[in-house]
């Protein structure tokens, strides 16, 4: 199965750490990062999609962050 996650965070080093941890866990970048203004919080947010091939079949109850 190919798992997909969209990592998001405010534009701080926390976002870079979140992506780095995913890469260290075997996830691969998928596409370009996105950057947008969140008018509700007044801050910029970042997003990066990641994918990972894992054994087994997809099921809605999977905790993708634990793969």
> Stretch 2-13: mean pLDDT, rounded?
96
State residue 37's pLDDT score: 97
The residue extents of the domains of the chain are 2-57
Pick the closest to residue 44 from 53, 54, 52, 34 (CA basis). 34
Look up residue 21 and give its two tokens: 């941890």
State residue 49's pLDDT score: 98
State residue 30's pLDDT score: 98
State residue 11's pLDDT score: 94
Residue 15 confidence class, pLDDT cut points 50, 70, 90: very high
What is the tens place of the pLDDT at every residue in 22-65?
999 999 999 999 999 999 999 999 999 999 999 999 999 989 88
């Amino acid at each position: 199965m190919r798992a997909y996650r969209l990592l998001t965070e405010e534009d701080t080093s926390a976002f870079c750490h979140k992506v780095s941890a995913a890469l260290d866990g075997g996830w691969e970048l998928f596409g370009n990062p996105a950057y947008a203004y969140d008018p509700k919080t007044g801050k910029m947010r970042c997003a990066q999609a990641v994918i990972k091939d894992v054994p087994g079949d997809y099921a809605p109850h999977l905790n993708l962050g634990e793969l």
